[in-house]
């Protein structure tokens, strides 16, 4: 798989491989911007990079929230399904 190609697994359980990959890449971008920012001595560029970092962190939080929602929903559905499979109770 190259950097642009992402193939959805379509069989995710309790998570989403596509969102997990996006989270991984966004986190890598933040680390990259932080490392580049440490080397930069131009205030304008440094401020710009810090703004990008803040935006990426917001995206990371959104991705984490969505992954958590998917996980909780999957657990709830698993609980419902298991209650139908439980013939003793």
Per-domain boundaries in the chain: 55-82
Whether 79 shows a pLDDT value over 60: the answer reads yes
Q: Say what the pTM is.
A: 0.74
Does the pLDDT at position 1 exceed 60? no
**Separation CA 80–CA 75 (nearest Å):** 9
46-74: average pLDDT:
94
User: At residue 44, does pLDDT exceed 90?
Assistant: yes
Distance between CA 52 and CA 31 in Å, rounded?
Answer: 11
Mean pLDDT computed over 42-51: 95
pLDDT of residue 89: 52
């Amino acid at each position: 798989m190259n950097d642009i190609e992402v193939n959805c697994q379509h069989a995710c359980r309790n998570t989403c491989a596509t969102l997990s990959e996006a989270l991984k890449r966004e986190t890598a971008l933040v680390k990259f911007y932080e490392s580049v920012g440490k080397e930069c001595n131009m205030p304008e560029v440094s401020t710009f990079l810090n703004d990008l970092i803040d935006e990426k962190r917001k995206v990371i939080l959104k991705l984490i929230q969505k992954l958590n929602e998917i996980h909780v929903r999957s657990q709830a559905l698993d609980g419902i399904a298991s209650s139908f499979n439980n013939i003793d109770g």
